[in-house]
Structure 1
């Protein structure tokens, strides 16, 4: 088991945002976390990446308890997030942004090989290599955010709403690339409002409602679950 959350609770001031969340991600999987706005999906991601301290419970990564570990040290261990809203550096070029993704690494040959891999996955970024990140379209910025996260060579890639704000054709393209990244050996935990795309690509999934996990199963099981279909897929 690569990642295990056990009974995680998290507070924003006096408001309890997560109520005893437990989930697992095995090596090689795509696991989807779906739910409505405000369900606690991004909060769960922030807890895993160390951007928000948890009130109780434990987070284990590759057998090690990382519950209190600093966020940057989690990156060093191979846990990296492409955040919601992309979070690229707008004044830096595409190549400089990608280079920032490798800031914890010293293996120049490995970094060069990964840069080649990222530019092969995202040919649009290769075409715009010297452009400032802020001049890219929304879809290109999303590609850059994912590419930058890949430059840390993560064992677990956390993707927070990768399809948000994208045109339908680009959504399909982003999910094709997510599948390809997984097939190349990277484990993925995916938070996504587009439940149809997420569950059709995921090995397993969890449904989050108001800070509680209310359902779990394989991607196919959840896709065909009547309650999931009605709430998240627009099918009664």
Structure 2
């Protein structure tokens, strides 16, 4: 098992943001976490990344308990996140942003590094066209591509994506999810948090629904997409 989240509890002050959630991610899978705003999805990803303190439970990555491992060390272990809101370095160029994604690597002058850069440019040709452009002048969709590309430059075994479709036009949302599928097919395991439940379930091998900090339903993406209660609550009655 690549990732195991076991009986995880996380607080914001006295408020329980996550209550005793458990799930796993197998190597090669796409796993989706869906739910309404405030359900605990982003908190879950931040906790896996090391940006939130665990009150109870643990996070295990490649068989190692990383619950107390600092966030920067988790990146070195090849666990990388593209955050909600993109978080690009707005004053830096596209290329500089991508280089920042690889800050833990020691092989920047090797062919392997260039190959990874070319992989990102192949997935996102727009970034190749704008390699020298300042990130803050790019559109929201282009910044989302850059955020994912930057995360890929760390060569993650597990890529965490937080709301990759947020604020994007429908056509661009389809494009982003097609690229996420391609990233997975190239060998990167993906854990994605997403409010667009239809797209998230269509992509997912496994999916979990969070409500008020708890997992209330789990299954394959197809199973949940075909569930009448899920359709009514999250899919507008249809997929």
TM-score range for the pair, normalised by the shorter chain length? over 0.9
Deviation string, structure 1 residues 58-95 (Cα, Å, up to 9, x no partner)? 11000000000000000000100000000000000000
Kindly indicate whether residue 85 of structure 2 is the aligned counterpart of residue 85 of structure 1: yes
- Which sections of structure 2, spanning at least 5 residues, go unmatched? none
Cα displacement (A) at 1:56: 0.6
Cα displacement (A) at 1:18: 0.4
1:98 paired residue number? 98
1:173 paired residue number? 175
Q: Would you identify which runs of 4 or more consecutive aligned residues in structure 1 move more than 4 Å?
A: none
Counterpart among 142, 146, 169 of residue 144 in structure 1 = 146
Cα displacement (A) at 1:107: 1.6
Whole-angstrom CA distance in 2 between matches of 1:231 and 1:87 = 30
Whole-angstrom CA distance in 2 between matches of 1:153 and 1:74 = 12
Kindly indicate whether residue 128 of structure 2 is the aligned counterpart of residue 119 of structure 1: no
The RMSD of aligned alpha carbons is 0.7
Cα displacement (A) at 1:111: 1.5
2:134 paired residue number? 132
Deviation string, structure 1 residues 95-140 (Cα, Å, up to 9, x no partner)? 0000000000012322111001000100001111111000000000
2:8 paired residue number? 8
2:162 paired residue number? 160
Three-state SS of the structure 2 residue aligned to 1:185 is coil
Whole-angstrom CA distance in 2 between matches of 1:111 and 1:104 = 12
Whole-angstrom CA distance in 1 between matches of 2:75 and 2:228 = 38
Cα displacement (A) at 1:226: 1.1
Alignment of 1:219-230 (within 5 A): 219-230=221-232
Whole-angstrom CA distance in 2 between matches of 1:176 and 1:219 = 16
1:23 paired residue number? 23
Whole-angstrom CA distance in 1 between matches of 2:60 and 2:86 = 26
Taking structure 2 as the reference length, the TM-score comes to: 0.98
Deviation string, structure 1 residues 161-206 (Cα, Å, up to 9, x no partner)? 0000000010000000000000000000000000001100110100
- Which sections of structure 1, spanning at least 5 residues, go unmatched? none
- How many residue pairs match? The answer is 236
